[in-house]
A and B are shown apart, each in its own frame.
Chain A
Amino acid sequence: MLDDFFSSGIFSTTQAAKARLLLDELNALTRRHEAGCAAYAAIRSARGETGQTAGRIDDVPFLPVRLFKTHLLKSVPDEAVFKVLTSSGTTGQAVSQIVLDTATAQLQTRVMVGIMQHFIGKARLPMLIIDHPGVVKDRTSFSARGAGILGMSNFGRLHTYALGDEDMRLDTDAIESLVARAAEGPILLFGFTFMVWRYLVGALRDSGRRINLANGILIHSGGWKKLEDEAVDNDAFKRELRQWTGISRVHNFYGMVEQVGSIFVECEAGRLHAPVFSDVVIRDPLDWRPLPVGSEGLIEVVSALPRSYPGHALLTEDRGVLTGEDDCPCGRLGRTFKVLGRLPKAELRGCSDTHAQRVETVS
């Protein structure tokens, strides 16, 4: 499956060539989900679009990603369900449920490996996890953070947790021991953006002590909300990180559990890249029209991977902007974009809420 995509090259396919590959696959997925998922078929039918074929990637019908929080949408029979992924969510919040069959799960692994190896190389590197070991231990409250760490752990060895369990204190002894074992070779660091900022960079700055991780490659994800609250942007993040740890290779990535295969990694030039299997469309919230490079709108992500559930075209609740197409200074081809943060919540209106918060969705 998707062999054409792999042989075309994950980041060496022009947007035009990719669009041809991707569009056929996306149209096939639309038909597949219409046939396999009654709820999806009902939505298509209500919109009078049943059986229609898209002529362009941005014509592929999209679903709001929030639907996966309210409905279990799947296109395979129960016996074909291999696993169900769940999204992050603080207590009380609805979580997304994403149904994978073996084919989709295998594709996901293959694509993730392909993308990550492109950035960190094929060897499993000594790995420093910017978190505390407890985050993956407690299976009852297993979080997306834990799941992300376990997923990335496949790319490393000598897994070392940088933070102490109780107090999130930076365990410099453990870090130094890992650095010693890495013996001047590269080290893979992985963590959630906020954890890296608060408990690695923040702890070092507070103590005034630098550590030397100059051979480190940091992969981080998880959103900028908390950093934005502290007015920290990507440049400031990287600058401070380099100052306190010497790390110069930093890759943020954007993705969501709701769309397997869509892993958008930040390149050396600071742009997020769509790999050959997926793409990004920026839509005007006023009419959903696709927007050109430079215009801010809502991020839609498309992926050729979701075969077991109708998640091949998803409208997110994140704002973003296209930064280019086949023109990144880093040399990778395809579209690049920037994430501008989550949509602000709706304003409270109406007569009925001196106590209750406004209900956001019809359920």
Chain B
Amino acid sequence: MEPNPPKASTARSVLDRVKVLVPTGQDLAQIAAATPLVPFSEPARAFVQRLSAAILGDIGFRPYPEMIAFAHWMRRARIQELAAEFDRRRNGAVWQGRGLAFHIAPANVDTIFLYSFMLSLLMGNANVVRLSSKRSAQVEAALALIDRILGERGMEPVRARLALVGYDHDDEITGALSARCDLRVIWGGDETVAAVRRLPLPPNARDLCFPHKWSVSVFDAAAYLGHNGKDELVRRYVNDTYQFGQMACSSPRMMIWRGTAADCAAAGDDFWPLLERASARFDTGLAAIDFVNKRVAEDQIAMARSVSVRQGAGNLVNVVRFSTLESLPLEEHCGAGLFYECTIADLEPLRRFMGRRLQTIVSHGISQAEWKGFLASGGVRGIDRIAAVGKALEFATVWDGHDLMREFIREIAVDP
């Protein structure tokens, strides 16, 4: 496990510089030396359930829907389901945690690090999580809670295998932790992935990267127009988009209407005003600079492409209509409620549109069977997930095309 014993003393002094946030007094070198737990071990499950219940029971977390969603995701019944699914899938094989997982958390989607290390913990790994030095109030509250729970009786096996650390960008520290891990999980933008990847891993270890991606929505226009309960549908769409100012990878940046020209036009004219009203009822947290950014983006696109800009009642929702799906400026996108809009007669044009950067399609009115049929009828470069409206930000164990339960473990082949 120790890759390079002669250099251990230097590595040691580097690790001494790391501020362990939780649990207090943790020794990083010891975590690296800990043996893995078995998947879905009792202490790991107990810890996850304690944390889930504590968040749900603490009114301090009520204002943070993403924390509530996390706690709900990790509730007891859900973990039992996961464990059952895990057993089904391993089908008698020997699956074990890889060892030490080193998670590099994104700065601005607060709960990702929780899903990442909790799932890894359930799979049996020891975990070191690097958090951004700029942390929100809810993250600080979660850290305090985790610290308290780790001090409870029975939590010792988890406590010995977990460290949440906070340090500013420091290649020496990231390098020292990388040199000791078996799995490095990099959440963040392309620059983070590139910067961290320059730091070597032990020969056995591997990277699991979640680089920059973006998402769109595809609605069947006729299905939308005929939908009962549009207000609820649109409210869910607002949750998908405005929760993180439309900057989460899985928040749709675009609406693609599928259907006849007349249906698509009617659906757009109906949908956007509803979205404006629903977003006005949502605490978007958008500020004047966001509205300026969107105005700048609209004009910049108008100068480069033949588009039309929908005139809305206010600046919460901005819509730029494109006549084709070809080379859209989706990569650099200011978020904050800027939507591109386009129409297609059938799904076929999506095949070329599905590049590697496309993560989620938030779908309405197109059945699972139709998507599966479409995807089975020919290969596509990208697209990781088709999700229902309102589920875009919901975490899943298959993320960005990676089956996390499988990525976090290794298989020991035992001959019959």
A interface residues (Cβ-Cβ under 8 A, vs B): 39, 42-43, 45-48, 63-64, 66-67, 70-71, 285-288, 298, 315, 317, 319, 343-356, 358-363
Residues of chain B within 8 A (CB-CB) of A360 are: 293, 334
Are A351 and B315 in contact, CB atoms less than 8 angstroms apart? no
* B335 in complex: contacting residue of A286, A349, A355, A363, CB < 8 Å: A349
Task: Judge if B347 is at the interface, Cβ distance under 8 Å.
Answer: no
Task: Judge if B49 is at the interface, Cβ distance under 8 Å.
Answer: no
Task: Judge if B204 is at the interface, Cβ distance under 8 Å.
Answer: no
Return the 6 tightest CB-CB contacts between A and B, nearest first: A350-B247, A285-B288, A352-B189, A46-B302, A354-B188, A349-B247
Summed over the interface, the residue pairs from A and B with CB atoms below 8 Å come to a total of: 158
Are A349 and B289 in contact, CB atoms less than 8 angstroms apart? no
* A71 in complex: contacting residue of B109, B187, B303, CB < 8 Å: B303
Are A355 and B249 in contact, CB atoms less than 8 angstroms apart? no
Known: A46-B307, A67-B296. A351 touches B332 (CB 8 A): no
A182 to B132, CA, bound (A): 60
From 298 to 350 in chain B, residues with beta carbon under 8 angstroms from any chain A beta carbon are 298-303, 306-309, 311, 313-316, 320, 329, 332-336
Are B107 and A47 in contact, CB atoms less than 8 angstroms apart? no
Are A355 and B108 in contact, CB atoms less than 8 angstroms apart? no
A288 to B107, CA, bound (A): 32
Known: A48-B308, A298-B292. A352 touches B249 (CB 8 A): yes
Please give me the residue from chain A that is nearest to B132 by CB atom: A354
Are A351 and B191 in contact, CB atoms less than 8 angstroms apart? no
A28 to B378, CA, bound (A): 56
Are B332 and A359 in contact, CB atoms less than 8 angstroms apart? yes
Are B290 and A351 in contact, CB atoms less than 8 angstroms apart? no
The number of chain B residues with a CB under 8 A from chain A is 58
Question: Contact string, B165-195, partner A, CB cutoff 8 A, digits 1/0?
Answer: 0000100000000000000000111111001
Show 11 A/B contacts (Cβ-Cβ < 8 Å), sorted by A: A43-B302, A64-B292, A286-B314, A348-B134, A349-B248, A349-B335, A350-B335, A351-B248, A360-B334, A361-B297, A362-B329
Chain A interface mostly helix, strand, loop or mixed? Answer: loop
A42 to B304, CA, bound (A): 8
Task: Judge if B212 is at the interface, Cβ distance under 8 Å.
Answer: yes
Are B302 and A353 in contact, CB atoms less than 8 angstroms apart? no
From 210 to 225 in chain B, residues with beta carbon under 8 angstroms from any chain A beta carbon are 210-212
Are A298 and B288 in contact, CB atoms less than 8 angstroms apart? yes
Are B292 and A352 in contact, CB atoms less than 8 angstroms apart? no
11 additional contacts, CB 8 Å, given A66-B292, A348-B107, A360-B293? A39-B303, A46-B308, A286-B315, A346-B290, A349-B245, A351-B109, A352-B192, A353-B107, A353-B108, A354-B106, A362-B334
**Nearest CB of chain A from residue B217's CB, rounded to whole Å:** 17
Are B332 and A363 in contact, CB atoms less than 8 angstroms apart? yes
**Nearest CB of chain A from residue B165's CB, rounded to whole Å:** 14
Task: Judge if B112 is at the interface, Cβ distance under 8 Å.
Answer: yes
Are A47 and B309 in contact, CB atoms less than 8 angstroms apart? yes
Residues of chain B within 8 A (CB-CB) of A42 are: 302-303, 306
A343 to B104, CA, bound (A): 32
**Nearest CB of chain B from residue A317's CB, rounded to whole Å:** 6
A48 to B311, CA, bound (A): 9
Residues of chain A within 8 A (CB-CB) of B244 are: 349-351
Task: Judge if B285 is at the interface, Cβ distance under 8 Å.
Answer: yes
Are B104 and A354 in contact, CB atoms less than 8 angstroms apart? yes
Please give me the residue from chain A that is nearest to B300 by CB atom: A362
Task: Judge if B402 is at the interface, Cβ distance under 8 Å.
Answer: no
A361 to B212, CA, bound (A): 16
Residues of chain A within 8 A (CB-CB) of B300 are: 67, 70-71, 361-363
Residues of chain A within 8 A (CB-CB) of B303 are: 39, 42-43, 71
Are B315 and A346 in contact, CB atoms less than 8 angstroms apart? no
Are A351 and B299 in contact, CB atoms less than 8 angstroms apart? no
Are B289 and A346 in contact, CB atoms less than 8 angstroms apart? yes
Task: Judge if B95 is at the interface, Cβ distance under 8 Å.
Answer: no
Are B297 and A47 in contact, CB atoms less than 8 angstroms apart? no
